[in-house]
Amino acid sequence: MGAQAQGGEKLGKGNLSLLDVIAQSIGFIGPVFAAAFFIPTIVGASLNGKGAGLASPVSIIIAMVGMCAVAWIISRFARRIHAAGSLYDYVTEAFGERIGFVGGWVYYGGVIALTLAIGLAFGGFLHDTLFFNHDIDIAWYWLSIAFWVAAALMMLRGVAISTRVQLVLGLGSFLIILVFSIWVIFKVGGDGGLSTAPFNPSSSDQGWNGIFFGILYAVIMFIGFESSANLAEESTNPRKHLPLAIFGSCIAVGVFYVIVTYAQAVGFGLSVQAWLEAFPPLYALAADPNYGSTGFGELIQWLVVIDIAAVGLGTATGSSRGIFALARDGRLPAVLAKMHPKYKTPYVASTFLAIVSIVLIAIVAWTNGLMSVGEMDPGQWFPMFNWLATFGGFMMVAVYIAICVAAFKGMPGESSGLLALAGIVGGLVSIGAIYGVIVQYADIPAYNRVWWIAVLWLVGGVIVMVILNQMGRLRNRTV
């Protein structure tokens, strides 16, 4: 039996299929968006110019191994615990109500930050795609607000609508980019241009230091593989479907990233300079007449926008259910745990999230961005998007570390040795990503505050936990 809150109702009608929960994980990850804009940062188009260079596939493979280890641990929890709180419930089972609450506070704080970030990005990318291709100039903030109105309506009517939209948008764009990348590899191979150099660590101009910086961004590209666990109460067979979606999505996007990155490496003639100058390289490669066309290049731009929409739906679905789960357990105001009487959706939590997102969009537009990242700033929306994405990823990876520690406590019916091995591998890669954020952004204004603002958020969670404990609202639940 799965974990449930004291006296709480279950979400939904238990009608989500395996494809629905896979769509949630893939949608949250946003592999097409990540491939377009995070692969260049792995190569070296980062704020401090550090990266893995030609050996970028090595960084991705290492990150994939680490994240798959974390995914395997989470999939073991997901087999037994079927509640909307996902990692919050898993940390609670492993370490008790107090640490569990703090874990949920940090994890869903990160998920909400990513949700707010994606709302900004959708408007920004859609504006640029319309303007630069068709000279249509609609302010980015109106586009972002329109996205949130549509997302709120979909979440109100039921998560199946959201997951099936993600399935069409996210998986469709995923397959098109995958096929295109394979075509590039075959085309280059026919001209005798294939090489194993991208898989050789010595190909990195910055050596292992550059590869480790690349791992930081590579880990970010996997974040969200576990989000299907938030749909446990709404799935037809959570014990079977959730582990497949969690672990399978991690492997699928990892293979996708390696293929896409290798295609870009050979497509640009193994030249890191050409790779970085063609920013974003996926767009440039698609528009190159050797591999695509101008029209196909625009199609890729639209696929990225579509994938951002899928990411937004995925993060909104995950964060709304996290807010609902915490409220249902008495950790947040009870009003946030209200369900729609007809659709059995967390409509108050979803509406609250949409309102907060729209308010942030208005503030960013009114203040001309709140912050700046200099020459890399493509518009008002970008600085806050980039900061929130970094902050959200940082906090989610911190909870991955807690999950890896939990693996050492063992689980009923699971191999203690395999759990420990996965905990070590996943923990080391996750710790490396956390350390990378702190070191990479040490001298960059605003971004050098990410880690200590995350610490302040953690301290705030501890304070709230103490207050709730004094009020008697932290009680043991049956799992």
**Domain of 166: which CATH number?**
1.20.1740.10
Q: How far separated are the first and last CA of the chain, in Å rounded?
A: 7
- What local confidence, expressed as pLDDT, does residue 1 receive? 34
CA proximity to 315, closest of 378, 360, 373, 357:
357
Question: Residue 4: inside a domain, yes or no?
Answer: no
Question: Residue 12: inside a domain, yes or no?
Answer: no
Lowest mean pLDDT among 85-89, 307-311, 320-324: 85-89
* Backbone φ and ψ of 16, nearest 5°: -85, 135
Task: Return all residues near 94 (Cβ < 8 A) that are at least 6 apart.
Answer: 100, 402, 405, 406, 409
Q: Give the Cα separation of 171 and 370 in Å (integer).
A: 34
Q: What residue type is assigned to position 464 of the chain? A: V
Q: Is 432 exposed, middle or buried (0-12, 13-18, 19+ CB in 10 A)?
A: middle
- 415-430 pLDDT, tens digit per residue, is 999 999 999 999 999 9
Task: Tell me the torsion sign for CA atoms 247, 250, 253, 257.
Answer: negative
- 98-123 pLDDT, tens digit per residue, is 999 999 999 999 999 999 999 999 99
- What local confidence, expressed as pLDDT, does residue 453 receive? 95
Query: How crowded is residue 382: how many other Cβ atoms within 10 Å of its Cβ?
Result: 21
Q: Give the Cα separation of 478 and 468 in Å (integer).
A: 19
Asked whether 44 and 271 are in contact (CB, 8 A), the reply is no
CA proximity to 351, closest of 309, 328, 319:
319
Q: What residue type is assigned to position 467 of the chain? A: I
Q: Give the Cα separation of 294 and 273 in Å (integer).
A: 22
Q: Give the Cα separation of 265 and 259 in Å (integer).
A: 10
Task: Return all residues near 28 (Cβ < 8 A) that are at least 6 apart.
Answer: 224, 225, 227, 311, 314, 315, 317, 318
Q: Give the Cα separation of 349 and 425 in Å (integer).
A: 35
- What local confidence, expressed as pLDDT, does residue 478 receive? 41
Strand-pair partners of 16: 235
Asked whether 401 and 408 are in contact (CB, 8 A), the reply is no
Q: 3-state DSSP call for residue 108?
A: helix
- What local confidence, expressed as pLDDT, does residue 12 receive? 56
Question: Residue 2: inside a domain, yes or no?
Answer: no
Dig out the tokens for 428 from the structure.
């080391």
Asked whether 307 and 168 are in contact (CB, 8 A), the reply is no
Q: Give the Cα separation of 230 and 339 in Å (integer).
A: 16
Task: Return all residues near 331 (Cβ < 8 A) that are at least 6 apart.
Answer: 101, 104, 105, 464, 468, 473
Q: 3-state DSSP call for residue 268?
A: coil
pLDDT > 90: what percent of the chain? 55
- pTM for this structure? 0.89
Q: Give, as one character, the DSSP assignment of residue 174.
A: H
Question: Residue 54: inside a domain, yes or no?
Answer: yes
* Backbone φ and ψ of 235, nearest 5°: -100, 150
Q: Give the Cα separation of 296 and 299 in Å (integer).
A: 5
Q: Give the Cα separation of 34 and 36 in Å (integer).
A: 5
Question: Residue 479: inside a domain, yes or no?
Answer: no
19 HSE (CA, 13 A, CB side): 10
* Residues spanned by the domain of 85: 18-470
- Average pLDDT, stretch 344-361? 92
Q: Is 446 exposed, middle or buried (0-12, 13-18, 19+ CB in 10 A)?
A: middle
- Average pLDDT, stretch 127-153? 94
Query: How crowded is residue 340: how many other Cβ atoms within 10 Å of its Cβ?
Result: 15
Q: Read off the pLDDT band of 8 (50, 70, 90).
A: low
Q: Is 303 exposed, middle or buried (0-12, 13-18, 19+ CB in 10 A)?
A: buried
Q: What residue type is assigned to position 299 of the chain? A: L
Lowest mean pLDDT among 158-172, 175-189, 288-302, 309-323: 158-172
Q: Read off the pLDDT band of 479 (50, 70, 90).
A: very low
CA 366-372-375 angle, to 5 degrees, is: 130
Question: Residue 48: inside a domain, yes or no?
Answer: yes
* Number of domains, the chain: 1
- What local confidence, expressed as pLDDT, does residue 5 receive? 41
